[in-house]
Structure 1
């Protein structure tokens, strides 16, 4: 098979997977967590840039990317190189946006000053160098058209873009490793179980795979022969796409924990409901479920047969008894709540003026079909 077609198939497969992650993340943030931050918009934009990258690679393949440069006609070589320039622009900016999304996500949860400084430094340098490289890509020759149509457009070369691309590739790989290792610096001090710490930090640490892809892309680029551009640059674009896709997986998977918990809870509820129906198959009215109702002991004479709730307190002439404070904790609705040490707690106090009892009473359940 033509190497260009292989590249296009691989790119579309990665694009479909990353767009699915974008959809799941947005669903989780909008419908479950009910909070959408700047990093979520940045993540969605990264998915859009990756889609455009794949589309323009497909167009370039149509014009001859993946085939021998010297066996194509001049129009096809010019068009193939031009559309790879467009695609590469989206890849460079998309790669920076993926790291920016990860950096903004971590900035939301870290508290130490030097952690914030390090994150802001990595984000600013990555964004600045990516924008600069994209500008230089389109201004490496005079006139500009000469860079993608050298056989018919005379001119001069202003910039050697390949060494600069290699330098940015080294920095990009270093950032991938930095964002993969960084969560381990603060996550061990959080108030959560060891298993949750390992799961959360392990998901973020998948960035080492993105770093490995970046190193491979950089090595491939440094050894490329630009005189057969349409054939030799296929591996470079494949590894560039893989680096962005893996980075999006590392960023997206940890944020899907609330969706996982909800799905797990629904499955558990369905299982318990099935078991309950099996255990009560002799019940004549399956539409009735128990509900507990509070009764004032002094208002009912004689008192019914009751079940003690364990929280009965009597008012005396001197004071009103006050039971211990009852705390309710949210169920890890977002990764921010997990990383911040479960700070989203709700406290309530129950005051009881009279002695109460609880009686089990069967009532109609309005939500059952």
Structure 2
């Protein structure tokens, strides 16, 4: 990190510092508002926190730590050209930028665990698929943390990277760049998979197109994080730049933007009850709520939580006692359980045509017609 040649005045005057602060603080505030809305839904409306909520809270703390370290780096001269900084400024810019990368990576790695926790709870994948989701996310997080290990281990002693009074030996900086590109690509692929997977499952359900699109969009909005991750990966070459304080500015910004984007994407599927409370209707199914519609999400008189439907491993809906999930919006009357309930209240299938009716206060009538055919030379009958 030696001094560069004297820069022209117009270049020396360039300073990305204010832009860094404006961008990272703005996106962090936005993501924090979404987290606050999520926690309001879970604590005040649903009255229950889940594992994914804790992941989101920790990632939000990490995001603000990254903002704090980035602010310290800017105060030391990050965002300005390395050649015009004093030795003290260079040391501070390098140190605080490096330290800020750790919570920055955590801020977009941990929300992936929150998404997996949500998806495995509401979509109820097979044991193998559930293990695959957790393993993929864990491997992604380990890969991302590997970037930090290489970042601090690439020089011996590590302190020599920011303390110019210490002599050290360093690896080729491109080792860190190439590994970081691998980790960034893996992160993008993970985000994409977690966004596409719910859409594939929902496509198999007996829901109208509007519901499928709305739910797929809510659960799959993490695909936006994929775009951010890919773009951020293109900025990783700045880690090997001799103009470290200026060229890494975009990487600092996009690291925090990625964390905020993943956090917002993880919060949106939980926000439906809050939207209902504010707007007074169910956006996903088009029905109007009566009175304080958000109360349908809270505990009932028996102490159980409402809206506690989840998917069985076969893709059907089933109810889980004491567990409130967002998949309340996935309700459908075309389930095997509802048909069996009607059949149990009907008549015996003793003729060629069976008329089965169930009535609830004279309001709903269901009629099923069963046609029974007989083989010509057999007493065996088949129901078609």
Give, in angstroms, the shift of residue 198 of structure 1.
Answer: 1.3
2:110 alignment counterpart? 97
CA separation of 1:142/1:205 partners in 2, compared to 1, >3 Å: closer, same or farther? same
Residue 245, structure 1, aligned to residue 256, structure 2:
no
TM-score by length of 2: 0.69
Give, in angstroms, the shift of residue 225 of structure 1.
Answer: 4.7
1:79 alignment counterpart? 92
CA distance in 2, matches of 1:48, 1:36: 17
Give, in angstroms, the shift of residue 5 of structure 1.
Answer: 1.1
Give, in angstroms, the shift of residue 152 of structure 1.
Answer: 2.6
2:131 alignment counterpart? 117
2:73 alignment counterpart? 60
1:227 alignment counterpart? 242
Which residue of 192, 201, 214 corresponds with 1:199?
214
Determine helix, strand or coil for the equivalent of 1:169.
helix
Structure 2 unpaired stretches of 5+: 1-13, 282-287, 293-305, 310-323, 342-384
2:275 alignment counterpart? 260
CA separation of 1:205/1:75 partners in 2, compared to 1, >3 Å: closer, same or farther? same
Give, in angstroms, the shift of residue 197 of structure 1.
Answer: 2.1
Residue 183, structure 1, aligned to residue 198, structure 2:
yes
CA separation of 1:238/1:253 partners in 2, compared to 1, >3 Å: closer, same or farther? same
| Contact 2:177–2:240 (CA under 8 A) maintained in structure 1 | no
Larger radius of gyration: 1
Determine helix, strand or coil for the equivalent of 1:152.
coil
| Contact 1:190–1:341 (CA under 8 A) maintained in structure 2 | no
TM-score by length of 1: 0.71
| Contact 2:107–2:260 (CA under 8 A) maintained in structure 1 | no
1:308 alignment counterpart? none
Give, in angstroms, the shift of residue 77 of structure 1.
Answer: 0.5
1:274 alignment counterpart? none
1:167 alignment counterpart? 182
| Contact 1:162–1:222 (CA under 8 A) maintained in structure 2 | yes
Which residue of 114, 118, 132 corresponds with 2:146?
132
| Contact 1:109–1:340 (CA under 8 A) maintained in structure 2 | no
Give, in angstroms, the shift of residue 338 of structure 1.
Answer: 3.7
2:366 alignment counterpart? none
Determine helix, strand or coil for the equivalent of 1:138.
helix
Alignment of 1:343-358 (within 5 A): none
Residue 10, structure 1, aligned to residue 1, structure 2:
no
Give, in angstroms, the shift of residue 115 of structure 1.
Answer: 3.0
| Contact 2:308–2:328 (CA under 8 A) maintained in structure 1 | no
CA separation of 1:341/1:91 partners in 2, compared to 1, >3 Å: closer, same or farther? farther
CA distance in 1, matches of 2:68, 2:331: 39
Runs (4+) off by over 4 Å: 266-271, 329-333, 339-343
Deviations 1:292-323 (A, max 9, x none): xxxxxxxxxxxxxxxxxxxxxxxxxxxxxxxx
